[in-house]
Amino acid sequence: MIGFFNDMKTLTRRNLLRLIRTPEVLIFSTIQPVLFVILFDSVFGGSISPLGFDSYTDFLIPGIMVQTAMFASINTGIGVAEDMEKGAIDRFRSLPISRLAILFGRTNADSVRTLAVSIVVVLTGLLFGLRLTENLGSILLGVVLSVLFANSIQWAFVLMALLVRSLEGVQAVAFLPTFPLVFAASTFAPVENMPGWLQVFAEYQPVTTTVDSVRGLFFGSEVLEASGGSLATSITLTVMWIVVIFAVFASLSVWRFSKN
Amino acid sequence: MAAQNPSFESLASGDAIIEARNVSVNFGDVHALIDASLTVPEGQVRGLLGPNGAGKTTLVNVISTLLSPTSGTALVNGFDVTKQGKQVRSIIGLAGQYAAVDNLLTGRENLEIVGSLYQLSRSEAKAQANDVLERLSLTEAADRPVKTYSGGMRRRLDLGASLVGRPKVLILDEPTTGLDPRIRIELWDFLKDLVTEGTTVLLTTQYLEEADALADEITLIDSGRVIAEGTPSALKEKIGGSSLVLATRNSAEIAEAARLVAAIGNAEPVIDEDKASLSMHVDSDSGAIVQAAQALDSAGIAVSELALQSPSLDEVFLRLTKGGN
């Protein structure tokens, strides 16, 4: 067990060092959400006034934060595929280490990056008129919940990389599940205005529950109650989703990985 | 081949550090390895030689615990690769076909990370990294990102990474593939130094000269099967005899020369009309070259070349693998 934590620490450090050495990737993964904030706020801000929110900016920022974390989790799959293609995984597997640590080292480092980018999204929001009403602890909890959700999704992409086994493959397949989850959700517009058949899916799927939880943690439960929800329900559903997604995909990934 | 008596088997494996017994690996319908056995005594450099796709990497992957065999077993230092993988991994060092070093990190960071993963303490990992960098003449480039390294430096670092854990068994999968000849020879020198320290080395290669230069014994592998084994000289001996090579000054005389030497060697000379030369298989100590010289001299044929060549490993290789003849 001590071995596992040491190896995980070493491999997390390795992946973080790689991140720091590619500042261009970091800069672009920050520019993208900033661009999204500007575009969505300007394009939809005038025509969408979500029930219970002071402004569309307030409604939008939690959505952009979760959307960015979701899209960034694709990089986890790309990273695993790249390490496989370049022989790094074989090298690690030939060392006397806990093999689980190889995968955890990847998701840990990527979650640290997601945390950093999430904070940038919130700070950008403040520049655009975001008004957080809850205390700092609640706000940080919102950010952390979004990162934990992204961490569980990262495991789905780890599994995808282990199955597809190529960088191009992961890039090609990754958008299929990501787009419907991000857009058929409360991310950019309220679920109530969607067609009935889509609402059934959109209301309870994990992106919606996560975005709603973050909204509740940023602005108080009232913003959710205005449209018939509550913070407690959203958080319960989100935690359940995170546990289920993590349990399913992490164990399948570990099984696939140890099976050569 | 001796009978497979279990008690003899365990006796025979007494000083073997790598022992693969009847290893087969199937990938679906593809039989990558068929009943391959390999015994390497401690301290030996063993060359695993074969063409592309012969199964060399598959066998190496089984021995280094990266791949479970479909059937058969392999032991490294007495540990079973499937049941005691972690013990096996703690005594081996593996350098793969492509340099598995991290381009974005410096040479030193690469080695320190591998050191930590060999469960060395931070200070031990640092000291080992320093030591390895020194031995592979990389000290000067140690703090530069690996992406600035040349191909040869990268291979050296990759080799270095497999040394950080002070392995008893070093497994090198085509360590010089894709390198230019000068750098290949430079890497050979590093490898020769390592061997003098008593490390057992299992080296796969498609280059005969590499196996010839480095290996104490060679295992030839083709289409998933072990087809021959022995010292380089024993393998050369295996195809027996030597080649008598001659060229005539006047190209018109090569046919006559061929008729004369054919009578000496009891073999069919292979004639190259364009070069006015021929080569013919002869027994090693038959005195064929002296007889050929006398016969040609009395026939008044002037020769520009007359020599006896021992067979190269290439010839052994081509004879034994089914690719050529």
B105 and B134 in a common domain: yes
A22 touches chain B (CB under 8 A): yes
Reported confidence tier of residue B98, pLDDT bands at 50, 70, 90: low
Q: Does B152 lie in the same domain as B286?
A: no
Q: Which two tokens mark A179? A: 């787009």
Instruction: Name residue A36's amino acid.
Output: F
Q: Express as a percent the part of chain B with pLDDT over 70.
A: 90
Using the beta-carbon criterion (under 8 Å), do A86 and B114 form an inter-chain contact? Answer: no
Are B38 and B97 members of one domain? yes
Is the pLDDT confidence value at A26 over 90? no
Q: What is residue B93's predicted lDDT score, i.e. its pLDDT? A: 92
Out of B193, B213, B236, pick the residue that ends a domain. B236
Domain end among B236, B271, B292: B236
CA B209 distance to own-chain centroid: 8
Distance from CA of A119 to the nearest CA of B (A): 26
pLDDT band, very low/low/confident/very high, at B285 (cuts 50, 70, 90) = low
A260 touches chain B (CB under 8 A): yes
- pLDDT at residue B7, rounded to an integer: 37
* Residues B286, B192 share a domain: no
Q: What's the rounded Cα separation, in Å, for the pair B143 and B112?
A: 12
pLDDT of res. B79: 96
The reply to whether B120 and B177 lie within a common domain is: yes
- What is the rounded (10 degree) CA torsion for A254, A207, A41, A192? 170
Residues B144 and B249 in one domain: no
Chain B contact set for A93 (CB, 8 A): 65-66
The dihedrals phi and psi of B317, each to the nearest 5 degrees, come to: -60, -50
User: Which of the residue ranges A147-156, B60-69, B256-265 would you say has the lowest mean pLDDT?
Assistant: B256-265
Could you tell me if B200 and B123 lie in one domain? yes
Structure tokens at B155: 């291979």
In a domain, B3, yes or no: no
pLDDT score, position B272: 83
- pLDDT of res. B317: 73
User: Are the Cβ atoms of A87 and B96 closer than 8 angstroms?
Assistant: yes
Structural domain including B178 reads: 14-236
pLDDT of A157 higher than 80: yes
Look at residue B324 in the predicted model and tell me its pLDDT. 40
Residue-wise pLDDT for B6-41, tens only, equals 433 333 445 899 999 999 999 999 999 999 999 999
CATH code of the domain covering residue B130: 3.40.50.300
Q: Are residues B58 and B183 in the same domain?
A: yes
Per-residue pLDDT tens for B177-217?
Answer: 878 888 888 888 888 887 777 899 999 998 888 888 899 99
Give the integer Cα–Cα distance in Å for B280 and B265.
8
- Residue B6 placed within a domain: no
Say if residue B38 is in the same domain as residue B144. yes
DSSP letter assigned to residue B312:
P
pLDDT digits (tens, 9 = 90+) for B209-245: 888 889 999 999 989 999 999 998 888 777 667 788 8
Among residues B236, B270, B298, the one where a domain terminates is B236
The chain-wide mean pLDDT, for chain B, equals 86
Residue B107 lies in a domain: yes
Structural domain contains residue B319: no
Structure ipTM = 0.85
B275/B292 same-domain check: yes
Upper half-sphere CA count for residue A151 (Cβ side, 13 Å): 23
Min mean pLDDT across A55-69, A190-204, B40-54, B194-208 is at B194-208
φ, ψ for residue B54, nearest 5 deg: -75, -25
Which of A2, A12, A94 has the highest number of chain B CBs within 10 A, making it the mutation to test binding with B? A94
- Answer yes or no: do B87 and B58 share one domain: yes
Q: For the residues B139-151, what does the mean pLDDT come to? A: 95
Q: Is B34 a member of any domain?
A: yes
The partner residue sitting opposite B67, judged by closest CB among A22, A87, A260, is A260
CATH number (domain holding residue B298): 3.30.70.920
Candidate ranges A144-153, B40-49, B63-72, B111-120; pick with highest mean pLDDT: A144-153
pLDDT digits (tens, 9 = 90+) for A225-236: 999 999 999 999
Alpha-carbon distance of A67 to A34, in angstroms, equals: 12
Q: What share of chain B is helix, strand, coil (3-state, %, to 5)?
A: 40, 25, 35
Q: Has residue B325 been placed in a domain?
A: no
The mean pLDDT value for A183-191 works out to: 95
Would you say residue A65 has pLDDT above 80?
yes
Give the tokens for residue B83.
Answer: 């049941």
For residue A90, list chain B residues with Cβ-Cβ distance below 8 A: 66, 94, 96, 100
| Mean pLDDT in residue range B300-305 | 89
Residues B70-91: b if buried by 16+ CB within 10 A, e if exposed: eebebbbbebebeebbebbbbb
**Residue B311 gets which letter from DSSP?**
P
| Averaged pLDDT, A86-110 | 92
**Most confident range, picked from A77-86, A188-197, A235-244:** A235-244
Do the Cβ atoms of A90 and B102 come within 8 Å? no
The structural domain count of chain B equals: 2
Average per-residue pLDDT in chain A?
Answer: 94
Q: Is residue B263 domain-shared with residue B209, that is, in the same domain?
A: no
In a domain, B2, yes or no: no
Answer yes or no: is B322 within a domain. no
Q: Mean pLDDT, to the nearest integer, of A184-211?
A: 95
